[in-house]
Structures are given as structure tokens and as C-alpha cells.
Structure 1
Amino acid sequence: MSVKALNSKEVARKVIEKKELFILDVRNEGDFADWKIEGENFDYFNIPYFELLDGVEEIMSEIPVDKDVLVVCAKEGSSMMVAEMLSDEGLNVAYLEGGMKAWSEYLEPIKVGDLKDGGELYQFVRLGKGCLSYMVVSNGEAAIIDATRMTDVFVNFASEIGANFTHVFDTHLHADHISGGRKIAEATGATYWLPPKDAEEVVFEYAALEGGNDVQIGNSTINIHALYTPGHTIGSTSFVIDEKYLLSGDILFIDSIGRPDLAGLAEDWVGDLRESLYKRYRELSEELMVLPAHFMIIEELNEDGSVAEKLGTLFAQNHGLNIEDEHEFRSMVTENLPPQPNAYQEIRETNMGKINPDEEKQREMEIGPNRCAVR
């Protein structure tokens, strides 16, 4: 039997459509335990490929014959070899094209909704990393919010729908992934906005993103009125778009809240985090649709693959929004922190413009799951 390759887009559809898939992951056990392709109806078997160099006979009983089987490794080569060995044994299997490296970089564009006066809002879901980026399109103009470093995806998408970038935003200085915002702004002539309290060490020019800014994109307004929401970083800023959507950055997620320690200031910032979530967000309409900059677990995806929920629902269901005692909140936030993101300090310095690693180094810096939330 011939061995076929599945690309990341095809695997993404299986994730979103909750299809069954059996993944044979041939990376090292530690890498698999740290980060894998998540799917609600996926089953897994992990064995390092070097244990299969003499043949796959010992694992034949582990591989189902009634499910789609995908062999996965870091960069493709090992999974292709193992898939060919399984095929020689009569099994019908596929391997992941480009490996986990390609999976980490894939973005799935999903239309979130229509805006007033003919605008549209899109969410770009980075399934392999948990990052969420946004594009506001209105009357031939486009704004991108929290862009990842895979800038071609956004530029090509805007070109296909006939829109030109006029504004680029980062809700905060990211520490778990490299922003593509400045690169897009430089390539298109768009204005690049950053919260000034997060930008004190940046070495490039930017527009100051502060409470009270109203930015027009075609016929749509991005309203940053009184939504300075520190806590994840000291400059974290939220947006309301069209009086309908709340872009919460890394302050509030669907199933958790943002961690305050990625600049080493958890004790200093936890009070800001509580005030942003428990006071400033409480003043907003509960009908606003929350659109965060990350998701943590695959169960947060909606039926169409988007990540979005009403603010009122989160006030009712998100544990991080329902801790009345301030001391209990403080201890939960500072004592339940997952490991720091991979290379987070280098990522922060890259986003400040202080260092400029090449593409392969940037890829290495980002490998692994996102870790922006309190557990």
C-alpha cells in the first residue's frame, strides 16, 4: 500500500469536526507528554522511533484497523519511515506532512461574525499552539490584532478579500509567541499600536494604545475606551469592537484567567489582574462576546472551531471569575502557575526588537504548548 501524507489543514478539520483519529506519535516520551495534537476523539500511542528501527512487529497489536491512523514526529522524516514500515505490514496509515513543526504554525481562519455597515470579523485559530489572532475587515480596510509570526497567512487572506491593512494591534507584549504585528506594519505601511506600559523597552516606533483611543477601520470602530486591563502584563489592553465583541487579550480565557508572572512580577500584578476582571469587566455588558488571545484545552472550541463565549456566561461558569475572597484569589493565581513558556524571555526580547533571531531559531523558541493561563 502507498503511504499518504496528511497536511495540517486536513488534520485541523478532523479536530474541528471531532472526527476519530488514532495518532502514533514517534517522538521522545518527554516531548509527547509535554505537547501533542489535541482532539476530542483522538486516541494515542507513543513510542520513540528509534525503538522501531528493527521493525514494527512489536506494535502491530497496538494499531487499530478500524480507524484512520496518523504517524507523527517532530519534522516528518521519522514518521514517514515508520508509516512505510506499517504499510509494508499491510496497514493503511498516513503521516503528518511537516511534522509537529508544521502543526505548530498552522492557522485556521474562521469567520466569527458580521459587523455593522458590512464589516466582518475573523478569528485565526492556531490549533497547535493555542494562539488566537483576529482580523477586522470593513470597506476595503483591515486591522489585525495579536498576529503571530506567520505573517503571510494574514497578508494573503487580506489580499484575497480585497482589503488593505491600515492598523495593527498587540493587546500586550507577548511572552509565549513571537508577534508578527511589527512585520506586517512595516510591510504594509499600517500603524502599529502597542500599550505604552508594555513598550518601555522596545527599540522601534509605535503608536500608543491607551484607554480612550477610538480607531476607525472602514466603517467599524475599535473602541479602547476605558479598557486598560493590567494583570497579565502591566500594559494589557482590551478592545470592544462594534459594541458586540470583547477582545480580552490574555486577561480572560474561556476556561481560565491570565497568569501575572511572565515578567517576574506575579505578586505585584495579581491585584491589577483582580481589578481588571472583577471591576472593569463587571462594568461591561454581559452580552459582549469574549474573544481571547489564547485557548488552553481543545474543549474550548465551539462547533465551528471558533473560541468565543458571552461575558455573562463566563461570569457564571469561569472559576477564575468567582473567587470572592481576595486572599484566596491571590494564592490561587500565584501558587497554581504552570511552567514558564519555552524561551519566554527571548521571546519577550524579540517582541521588543532587542534581538532578531532567524526563522529557524524563532521556530525553536516557540515549540511547545501555550502556557499563558493560571491552572
Structure 2
Amino acid sequence: MSPLEISPEELARIIETKAPVLVLDIRSKQQYLEGHIKGAANAVCDSMQQKQVIMSKLPPHMKIILVDEDETIAKENATMMARFGFDAHYLKGGIKSWTSELVKSSQDTTISGDSLWDSLKKNEDVFLLDVREPSEFSEFKIPGAVNIPLSQLFSSGYESSIPKDKKVVTVCSHGNRSMVATFALAQKGIEATSLVGGMAMWNQVLNATSLKEGDVTIIQVEKVGKGCLSHIVGSNGEAVVIDPTHPASKYVEFAQKEGLRITKVIDTHQHADHVSAAKDLSHLVGAKLYLSKLEEYRMESEQVEDGMTISFGSKHLRAIHTPGHTQGSMSFSLDDMYIFSGDTLFVEGIGRPDLRDKAEEFAANLYETLHSKILKFPDSAKVFPTHHGEGVKPTSEGLFVTTIKDAKKLPLLDLDKAAFVSKVVSITTPRPMNYSMIIKINKGTIPVSQAQIPDLEMGPNRCSIRM
């Protein structure tokens, strides 16, 4: 008998005596819900990286028992964990050998990003417990979350900081540590649910807010965990989508709710912080794809040039070459009253010019773009950007939008050209995570799978600068 092997009878005794033990069911979530050992936490680690991350956060002094279907995978993982110094074991024969009653979960112990967002929008009493390490938490987080690292949840003293009258949702990077956290909390008598996919999937949640003015419908789509903004612009049942993000299928849903059919898709530039869904969306709905002629894309599209018009319904978008954030950036004007500015101008700042390593040249171009083109529109014109920064609040209508009048009040836009370039170049912020690979994907030079996108987009929005 292997020293790592735990018989069903021995595990039953351990559970009955309430000895300190962590039972991890490493089967699929569906298998776990259909029947699991009472008190077991579900933790699926599909990659070595995920295994290493979760192992680094487990308490080394606690006995850990892995459970799978027939012991094969559990034995392999327990052996690996034991080599790393963990008191790790596996259930002999797996769940098939368990003769005691299994717990069937009619209610999931997890919550999806969309469901969590719905709860937060409704101002429900939710306590967000982020169990990542402080260094991870400081990089980016869900607003309002409280950080208690997973390793601390197996000790005492933190319980008083978790309210008993709120729904507790645990959060980590991919959903594994947060599942283990629900087990640790349950041992303290605290019920909790785990955010599926963690922060990686939180960054994939999309929220739509509509604005109707006359015969124009504008649906602003926010990637709530990332601050990315895209726009469905409709007229007479026809719509153009500007800067869509993944998942592409959500745009079809949002458009249909407003009685719109997507016929054209546009990217304002080659994005650096998220994977564009423009190509996928255009293929999904059979729409024409429009990309800047000056961005050297490696994919088939209609090429956008300065002054070009794109028609939909009874309306026309006019392309404006707005270099600065990138050399080929395009903004789009609708009736000179709605400006879709891409990453040129934001509610709180401007697009950073340094992501192509030509900061001074691009900053000078950005100054000319802003003062000679964008700020020449009427003061009442509304500006719809492609991002918003952390802490920026939406309007009472729920939109992230500014006006030309308000944009002129930004401190950076009050500087002369030399001072502007000097100041902008001096503002150094970390670059978006994985930005060089994302640029190549969006350019069309390397492929990407849907499964890769959440991890590629992990991290905060870092495309704007402000004073």
C-alpha cells in the first residue's frame, strides 16, 4: 500500500472526526455537482502553471486528499505534490470506491461573471473576497473587493472582517484558489461562492447601455473588468460596430434587442491591450470589415482612408485620420455631433503615444490631431472613446462619454506643443500585459484561439495617460 493512499474507510473517519483536512475533488465541475464527498472543494487544474500557482498558496502543514474518478489522475498529482513537500494523498479507487452517500448540489457553488455583474448592478449585498496575493491584487481588482490571501484563510483571526449578512464571493486569477477558499471558509462556518474563471473571465463580461437621440441609436458596450468600450451605432434597422471585443456573439444579441442588424464592423486602430473581435464578428454576421489603410493589417478588409464615408441606414460615418496613439489611428464622426475617438481622446485623458517606441514623434502627432482635428468639432459634440480609466464614473445614463467642451478642460490640452510633448513623454506607466503579442494578433500576423484570449487580456487597462 502506498503511503499516499487513503482508503474510503479512513477518509470517512477523518471527515467524521472533523480533523483538519483539505479534500480536493479534481474532477470536472459537472461531475462534482452530480455527486461529491461532503465537504470536498472542486478544484480543476488543467495546466502545470495552474497547479504550481495553487500549490504555492496551499497550507503545507495541512493534510490534502485528492479525489478523482478512479484514482489515476489524483495519484499522479498527489505524488507530484508530495515531492514538493506537501502532506498530499489520494483516495484509493477514486470516487467509484466511495460507498457513503454523495452530496448532490442542486445549487452551484460558483457564480459566473455575468451573474456577479448583474448582482453588482442591482446593488445587492455582495462581499467580494479576493484571495490572491497582495502583489496581484494591487495590479488590478474588482472595485470594492477586499484582499485576504488564500493562505491566511486556513488560520484564525480574519473571520470578523467578513460580514455575515452579505453574499460572499471569492475571487482569484482563474477560479482555482477561490474554490479552495470556499472550503476554507466553510470550515469557519462561512458560506461562499467562487467566481468562475476568476479575474481572467471577469475581464470577458460585457455590459450594454443604449442611447437614443432622434433617428440614431448608440449602444455602448463596456468590457467591465477591463474598461474597454465599443459602440454599436444604428440607424433605420442597420448598424455599424466600432472596436468590438470578445465574445463577438454578444454584439449580435445587443443589436437584436434594439432591432438592429449589423452590416459593417470597424476597428479604429490596432489595439494593444485586448484582442479585437472585429474580424470574428464580421465573419459571424456576414458584415463588411473596415480597417485603417495606414495600419498595415494582414487580413482582408475594406481599407479606410481619411475622409472616407461609411453608410448605414440613413446615416454616414466620416473617417478622420487621427495619428498619435498609433500612426494609422482613425476616428469617426457622425453628423459632426458624435465622435468615436478610438484611443485618441478619453473622458479623463488621452491615448498614450509610446507603445510603438516612437513616443516623441507620436506625441507631436497627437498634439496636432487633438488641436487641429478633434477639438475643432462643436463644443456640444459628444465624444465616445474606446476605453475608460480606473475610477472614471459613467454619466447618469450609464455612459462613458464626454463633450468637446469638457475635453478642452483637460490639463494636458492646456499646454503648448513643446510642453505637451515633453509632459506626455515624461509620463511613464507600465505597458499593457502581453501587448506585443496582442498587437501581432490584431494585425493578423499570428493566430489566436478563443481559449487563449482571457489570459492574454489579463491585467488593467493601460492605454491612457492623464495629469
Secondary structure in 1 aligned to 2:318?
Answer: strand
Structure 1 residue 172: deviation in Å?
Answer: 0.9
2:185 maps to 1:86: yes
Q: Structure 2-normalised TM-score?
A: 0.72
Structure 1 position 265 matched with structure 2 position 358: yes
SS at match of 1:149: coil
Verify the 8 A CA contact 1:112 1:122 in the aligned structure 2. Answer: yes
Q: Answer whether contact 1:195 1:237 (CA < 8 A) is retained.
A: yes
Distance in 2 (alpha carbons) for counterparts of 1:17 and 1:292 = 26
What secondary structure sits across from 2:185 in the alignment? helix
Partner of 1:166: 263
User: Is 25-34 or 154-163 further displaced after alignment?
Assistant: 154-163
Residue matched to 2:369: 276
Matched, 1:302 2:395: yes
> 1:240 deviation in Å?
1.5
CA distance in 1, matches of 2:211, 2:257: 18
Deviates more, 1:60-69 or 1:14-23: 14-23
Deviation for aligned residue 1:46: 3.2
What SS class does the counterpart of residue 168 from structure 1 fall into? strand
Contact 1:259–1:337 (CA under 8 A) maintained in structure 2: no
**Which residue number corresponds to residue 412 of structure 2?**
320
Aligned counterparts of 2:395 and 2:124: Cα–Cα separation in 1: 14
Alignment of structure 1 residues 175-186 onto 2, 5 Å? 175-186=272-283
Distance 1:304 1:283, change over 3 A: closer
- The answer to whether structure 1 residue 30 and structure 2 residue 135 are counterparts is yes
Provide the C-alpha distance between the structure 2 equivalents of 1:15 and 1:295, rounded to a whole number of angstroms: 19
Identity within the alignment, %? 32
Structure 1: which amino acid aligns with 2:142?
I
Deviations 1:260-307 (A, max 9, x none): 111111111111100111221221111011110000123332234321
Report the equivalent of 2:427.
Answer: 336
The answer for the alignment partner of 1:74 in structure 2 is 173
Conservation of the 8 A alpha-carbon contact between 2:324 and 2:353: yes
Report the number of matched residues.
361
1:292–1:279 CA distance, 2 compared to 1 (3 A) = same
2:454 maps to 1:351: no
The answer as to whether partners of 1:244 and 1:289 remain within 8 angstroms in 2 is: yes
Distance 1:122 1:353, change over 3 A: same
Tell me how far 1:218 sits from its aligned partner: 1.1
How does 1:52-67 map onto structure 2 within 5 Å? 52=153, 55-67=154-166
**Partner AA of 2:445 in structure 1:** K
Contact kept, 8 Å, 1:196 with 1:210, in 2: the verdict is: yes
Larger relative contact order (Cα-Cα within 8 Å, sequence gap ≥ 6): 1
On the 8 A contact 1:3/1:83 being kept in 2, the answer is no
* Larger deviation, residues 297-306 vs 165-174: 297-306
* More displaced stretch, 340-349 vs 58-67: 58-67
Aligned to 2:146: 44
Find 2:317's aligned residue among 209, 212, 222: 222
Whole-Å Cα distance in 2 between the matches of residues 91 and 3 of structure 1? 16
Which of 330, 355, 361 is 2:452 aligned to? 361
Q: Please say if residues 375 and 404 of structure 2, whose CA atoms lie closer than 8 Å, have aligned partners that are also in contact.
A: no
* Structure 1 counterpart SS, 2:182: helix
Structure-1 separation of matches of 2:392 and 2:344:
19
Contact preservation (8 Å) 2:310, 2:316 = yes
- The aligned counterpart of 1:152 is 249
**SS of residue matched to 1:105:** coil
Residues 161-182 of structure 1, C-alpha deviations (whole Å, 9 max, x = no match): 4433211101111111111111
Alignment CA distance shift 1:14-1:156 (3 Å)? closer
Alignment partners' CA distance in 2, 1:18 and 1:333? 38
Secondary structure of 1:287's aligned partner: coil
Query: For 1:3 and 1:214, how far apart are their aligned partners in 2?
Result: 50
What do the CA deviations read for 1:55-97 (whole angstroms, capped 9, x no partner)? 2533213323355432111222321331243244233544323
Q: Distance in 1 between matches of 2:114 and 2:348?
A: 25
Change (3 A) 1:189 1:230: same
Q: How far apart are the structure 2 equivalents of 1:293 and 1:152?
A: 19
Cα distance in 1 for residues equivalent to 2:213 and 2:422: 41
Point out the structure with max Rg over C-alpha. Answer: 2
Moved more, 292-301 or 250-259: 292-301
Separation in 1 of the partners of 2:284 and 2:111? Answer: 32
- Contact 2:200 2:457 (C-alpha < 8 Å) held by counterparts: no
Partner of 1:346, secondary structure, is helix
Pair 1:307–1:293, CA change in 2 (3 A):
same
Deviates more, 1:64-73 or 1:211-220: 64-73
Unpaired segments of 5 or more residues in structure 2? Answer: 1-38, 40-106
State the SS of the aligned residue for 1:12: helix
RMSD: 2.3
Partner of 1:191: 288
Describe how 1:239-258 pairs up with structure 2 within 5 A. 239-258=332-351
Which residue of 2 is the match for residue 286 of structure 1?
379
Contact 2:137 2:147 (8 Å CA) reproduced = no
* 1:315-370 deviation digits (Å, cap 9, x = unpaired): 12x222222x3332112211113111111111111111110022233322211111
> What's the offset of the Cα at 1:14?
5.5
